[in-house]
Chains A and B, each alone.
Chain A
Amino acid sequence: MIVGLLLKLPLLPENPKRQSWTISAIFPTAVLALGFTAMISKLGYLNSTNSDYIIALMVGIITAIFSKYILERILPRPSQDSSGEPSISSVEPPEEQEKSNQSQNKFESSKNSKTQNEFDESSNNSSQPKEESNG
Chain B
Amino acid sequence: MDELIGIIIAAVISWLNFVLIDTWMGLPESPGVKGAEVIGRGIKKRGGDLAGGFFQGNIVCSPDASAGTLLASIACYAIGTPEGGLIAATLVYFGNRLCADPGYAGTTGALTITVIIALTSYIGITPAMFIVGMLIAIFTIQGLYHPSSSKLLGKIAQKMDRYTKMN
Interface residues of A (CB under 8 A from B): 16-21, 27-28, 31-32, 34-39, 41-42, 75, 78, 83-86, 88
Contact = CB atoms under 8 A, between A and B. Distances in A.
A12 to B, nearest CB: 12
Interface of B: 24-26, 32-34, 79-80, 82-84, 86-87, 89-91, 93-94, 97-98, 100, 102-105, 107, 111
Contacts of A86: 32-33, 100
B152 to A, nearest CB: 21
Provide the main secondary structure of the chain B interface. helix
Given A75-B97, A78-B100, 6 more contacts: A21-B102, A27-B107, A31-B93, A32-B93, A39-B87, A39-B90
A135 B82 CA distance: 95
Nearest to A76: B97
A119 B99 CA distance: 47
16 contacts: A17-B104, A20-B102, A27-B104, A27-B107, A28-B93, A31-B107, A31-B111, A34-B90, A35-B86, A36-B90, A38-B86, A42-B83, A75-B97, A83-B34, A85-B34, A86-B100
A20 B82 CA distance: 28
A85 B33 contact: yes
Contacts of A27: 104, 107
Nearest to B26: A18
A108 to B, nearest CB: 30
Given A17-B104, A19-B26, A35 B32 contact: no
Contacts of B103: 28
Contacts of A75: 94, 97-98
B83 A41 contact: yes
B33 to A, nearest CB: 6
Contacts of B80: 42
A28 B90 CA distance: 9
Contacts of B107: 27-28, 31
A85 B94 CA distance: 20
A11 to B, nearest CB: 16
A37 B89 CA distance: 12
A88 B100 contact: yes
Contacts of B89: 31, 34-35
B83 to A, nearest CB: 4
